[in-house]
Amino acid sequence: MQYSSMVIYFMSGTGNSYRAATWMAEIADKKGITSKLYQISNYCEKSDLEEEKDLLGVVFPTHGFTAPWQVIRYTLHLPPGRGKHAFVVATRAGTRIASIPFPGLEGTAGYLIALLLIMKGYIVRGVMGVDMPSNWMSLHWGLNLANSKFIIARAKVKADSFMASIMEGKRMFRGILSLLLGLFLSPISLGYLIIGRFFFSKLFFASASCTGCGLCAESCPLKAIRMTGRNKPRPYWTFSCESCMRCMGYCPNKAVESSHSFAIVLYLVATIPVSLYVLNRLNEVIIIEHYSFFFKIMFDYIYTLSSFFAAYLIFSWLMRIPLLNKLCTYTTFTHLYRRYHEPDTALKDIMMESKKD
C-alpha cells in the first residue's frame, strides 16, 4: 500500500499523545509521505478537511479505561471515510517503580474509536495502546525525569514499529487482552463518561501562587477554563474540562491544584437522596409506581450535575478568601506532587498545532 499524504488528529494535555503523533509523522516524512497534525479541540473545522488524505490517524490519551468524550465526539464529526485507511493509537498511563516498568490499560479506548471510524466508512488498518508516563496529577505525583525518559524511549520504539508496519501495508491490531479487560470494566468507563469526568473537572482551583496570567485559559484545548473576577482574575473550570492536566502540568507558578478535601464535600453533597423525597411528593400527585426506576435515575442525574455546579460555584468564590485558599491548598496532596509534562514538549509546541485547528 502506497500512501502519499496523512493527517493525524490528536488530543494531548501534557504532551504525551502529541509526542507520539510527532513520532508517527516523522516516520511518514522519512518515506516521503506528506503529513499534518491537527489538535482535537472542538468540532471538526471544514478547513481541516479540505485536503484529501490517503491515511488518517487518531491519537489520544485513555480516560477511565476508554476514549475521552471529546475524542468520541470529534470522531463522530469526521467526514465519511469512503474507504480511506485509518489507524488509532491510545496512549495509556505507564509507570516505573524501583526500576520495574508497569504497563497502563487502555481498555476499550482504541477499539471504540476504531469502531466509530468503521461505521463512518474508514478501513482501519491498525489499533494500538502505548505506554507514556502517567500524568493524572489529580491522583498521583508526576514521574521523575529518569523514569519518564525510560518509558518514553520504550514507547518510541513501539510507535515507530507500529507506524512502519502501517506504511508497509500491514495490519497491526494490538491490545486484545486490554480490550477484553476494558469490556469487563465498561461500567466504570460508562460511569466516567456520564458523571465521573464532571466530578473531576470541579476539583480544580488556583492557589495563592496564581498571578492571574490567564495562560491556563489561553492554552486549554477545549476552552474549558474561564478567567473570572475584575481586580484579580482567577481561573474557573467548566463542565467542558476533560482533566487533560495541561493547566496543572504547564502552570509556570504551579498554582493549579486539585482539592481532595473538596472532593469529599462534593461527594457527600451529590449523594444526598433527593430523588426519594421528590418521588414521594410526586406520587402524591400522580401514580408513577411503574416508572419509578426511570424517574429516580433521571432525578438523580439532574440533581448530581446541579449539585456539582452549585457546590463548585460556592467553592470557587470561597477560594478568593486568602485564609480559606491556604487551608484548602495545604489539605490537598497535589500541593506536594511533582508536576509533569512530556520533557521535550513545550507548551508553545502544542499551542502552535492548536492554531491549525
Alpha helices, DSSP H only, in 99-175?
A: 109-119, 145-167
Q: What is the pLDDT along the chain (357 residues), one digit of tens a residue?
A: 688 889 999 999 999 999 999 999 999 999 888 899 999 976 445 445 445 678 999 999 999 999 999 999 999 999 998 899 999 999 999 999 888 999 999 999 999 999 999 999 999 999 999 999 999 999 999 999 999 999 999 999 999 999 999 998 899 999 999 999 999 999 999 999 999 999 999 999 999 999 999 999 999 999 999 999 888 899 999 999 999 999 999 999 999 999 999 999 999 999 888 777 766 666 666 666 666 677 778 888 999 999 999 999 999 999 999 999 999 999 999 999 999 999 999 999 888 665 554
Residue 206 main-chain phi, psi, to 5 deg: -105, 130
- How many Å apart are CA 347 and CA 31, to the nearest integer? 28
Q: How far is CA 75 from CA 7, 46, 58, 289, 317, in A?
A: 13, 14, 8, 40, 36
| Element holding 318 (H helix, E strand) | helix 292-318
pLDDT at 92: 95
**152: three-class secondary structure by DSSP:** helix
Length of the chain, in residues: 357
SS3 70: helix
- Partners of 58 in the β-ladder: 9, 88
Write out the H or E segment, with its range, that includes residue 126.
strand 123-133
Task: Give the CA angle between residues 124, 12, 72 to the nearest 5°.
Answer: 45
pTM: 0.89
Instruction: Give the residue carrying C-alpha cell 451529590.
Output: 270
Residue 58: name the closest of 17, 36, 89, 83 by CA: 89
- What the block records as the C-alpha cell of 283 is 406520587
pLDDT at 269: 92
